[in-house]
Structures are given as structure tokens and as C-alpha cells.
A and B are shown apart, each in its own frame.
Chain A
Amino acid sequence: MKCLVCSSLFPDYMENCLSQDVIDELEHHFRFCEKCRVCFSTYRLTVMLSSKVEQPAAVSPESVERLTSLLIQRFFNGARGA
């Protein structure tokens, strides 16, 4: 397996979307290619850090209530569900 091919498989490897044959070939390549091994481990950590970089921005309950009231007013003539 060439390094360029190996690198192109990172996303599917992370999502477990590769066939076992390809996984075996990829992991065999990792054993002998330090460049791809390091590239993949730092790639995977980059993805993990990206998932943590943002604090979840929660919309306030007041905003949700305001939005709901607006929609009820606009589309249901002010009649809320029970």
C-alpha cells in the first residue's frame, strides 16, 4: 500500500467503514511505516480535539419559549397544545 492511499483511508478507518481485508492491509502498512503511523495518530487526535474545542453553546430557555410563542402566534392563532 502506498502512503498516499493509506492517508486517504483515514476517515473510513476511523468510522469503521473499511472491509477487513483493507483494515489488515492498512494496519500492516502502519507496522512498517512510521510516517503514516504518526500521521494517523495525530490525525485522529486532531479530530478528537476538534470535538472538544467548542463549548456547547446552549440557547437560553427564555429564547426557546419566545420562539415557541412566536410560532404559535404566527401559525396556530395563539392556540397552544395542552
Chain B
Amino acid sequence: MGKKRTERVPDASVVRALKNGDPHAMEELVRRYSNKVYNLAYHLTRDANAAEEIMQDVFLTVISKVDTLANDAFFSTWLYRVTTNAAYGFLRKERKFGDQTAIDEETEHEPSADYLHDWTKLPDSILLSEESRRILKESIDSLPEAMRTVVIMKDVEGLSNEEIAQALGLSVPAVKSRLHRGRLILRDMLSGYFRKYTLEGDHPA
């Protein structure tokens, strides 16, 4: 594994080298994933100290148990699963775990009565203002936990549906359903918030 990063070696090869006891491989995995693990933990817990502790615990866990990983190519999704579980553990301990109401995957979400309120022409100075970001962040945090986690993993962290499904032990359709419903709720919340600006009249694009 003494290879420099001229081209990216697949995770599976690095994990295989780690299983063979190569310390370079462990360092490479830390280099590749420490930020991703930290970010996911931070965005799920909103706590920088917890995120750092979780990052450390996650790497201690996965490195110590790497021999149990059957498919080396699934290293990253395993890492995300351990991270999510650790974040849930922290939130439970802090009693910050949100609404655990079971989600009915099949129920369709009807767009709200705000559907004809088009706020897409508002200028970036409003769409991306401090206040707008705060409202959106609070809206994400107010989602039922099952939706919140998926929205953060997909729309904030940029993971794929397949990675999220494997990390959370869900089917891809279940991930998509939670994501879609969470997004529709956020859309409704933002529509309510931006209404005050669209009512004020036209804004230059």
C-alpha cells in the first residue's frame, strides 16, 4: 500500500491491505473518511465535541472489527452505519431524539395549499440569507427523525440512495419515500417563510 495518491485506489483494495496489517492502509482510510464521518456526526448531533468523539469511536470500532467485514467494497456504507448508530446513541443519551412516530412508507404526501406560491424568483440575497438558512436548518431539525436522517445524508452530505439504504438497513424505495416526504415538508415550510417576501412585490433576479 505504499502507493501515493496519483490515482485513487479503490476502497476494497485499501481495506484488503488493512486486513493484511498494513498501517498505510489505515492512514489512508482515515484520510479519506475522517471528514465525512465528522460531518455526518456533526450534522446529525449539532455538537462539535460529540462529533469528534463519535469520529474517534467509529474508527476504533471499524478498525478493530474490519476482519468481520464480508465485502470490502462496502466499507464506506458500514462506516456510515456505525456513525449513524453512534449519533443516535448520543442523541438518545442527551434526550434529543425527535419524533419516533412510525413512518408509513406507502402514504403519499399531498402538496399543501401553498402550491401556487412561487418563490423561486426571489433573489439569492433572500434565498441564501442568514435568516433563510436558519429557518431551513430549524425546519430540517424539526422533521421526524426517520426523515431528518435521510434528508441530512442525501441533501446535506450528498450520499447516494444506495449508500443510505445500506447504512440505515432500509430498502432503496423506503429511503426515497422518506426523502421525498421530508423534502415536501421542507418545501411547505419554506413556502410559508418566503411568502412575506413574495407578497412584498417583485424582486430583481
A interface residues with partner B (beta carbon < 8 Å):
3-4, 7-8, 10-12, 34-35, 38-39, 41-43, 45-47, 49-54, 56-59, 63-64, 67-68, 70-72, 74-76, 79-82
Specify the chain A residue showing the minimal Cβ separation from B189.
A46
Give the complex CA separation of A39 and B180 in angstroms: 13
Task: Looking at the assembled complex, report how far the CB atom of B205 sits from the nearest CB atom of chain A, in whole angstroms.
Answer: 13
B interface residues with partner A (beta carbon < 8 Å):
1-2, 21-24, 26-27, 30-31, 34-35, 38-39, 42-43, 48, 51-52, 55-56, 59-60, 63-64, 108-111, 115-120, 127-128, 132-133, 136-137, 140, 151, 155-156, 158, 176, 179-180, 183-184, 186-187, 190-191
Q: Which of A4, A12, A58, A68 has a CB less than 8 Å from the CB of B35?
A: A58
Q: Are A67 and B55 in contact (CB under 8 A)?
A: yes
Q: Which of A7, A39, A54, A68 has a CB less than 8 Å from the CB of B30?
A: A68
Given contacts A50-B186, A63-B52, A67-B55, contact A42 B27 (CB under 8 A): no
Task: Looking at the assembled complex, report how far the CB atom of B25 sits from the nearest CB atom of chain A, in whole angstroms.
Answer: 8
- Number of A-B pairs, beta carbon distance below 8 Å: 137
Q: Which of B26, B34, B110 has a CB less than 8 Å from the CB of A4?
A: B110
Specify the chain A residue showing the minimal Cβ separation from B132.
A49
Q: Which of B23, B51, B133, B191 has a CB less than 8 Å from the CB of A80?
A: B23
Q: Are A51 and B118 in contact (CB under 8 A)?
A: no
Inter-chain contacts of A59 with B (CB < 8 A):
34-35, 38-39, 51-52, 55
Interface centre among A50, A63, A72, A79 (most CB of B within 10 A): A50
Q: Which of B2, B30, B111, B120 has a CB less than 8 Å from the CB of A71?
A: B30
Given contacts A41-B120, A50-B136, contact A57 B27 (CB under 8 A): no
Inter-chain contacts of B117 with A (CB < 8 A):
38, 42
Give the complex CA separation of A6 and B163 in angstroms: 26
Q: Which of B30, B34, B109, B120 has a CB less than 8 Å from the CB of A45?
A: B120
Give the complex CA separation of A47 and B150 in angstroms: 13
Q: Are B127 and A76 in contact (CB under 8 A)?
A: no
Q: Are A38 and B116 in contact (CB under 8 A)?
A: yes
Inter-chain contacts of B23 with A (CB < 8 A):
72, 76, 79-81
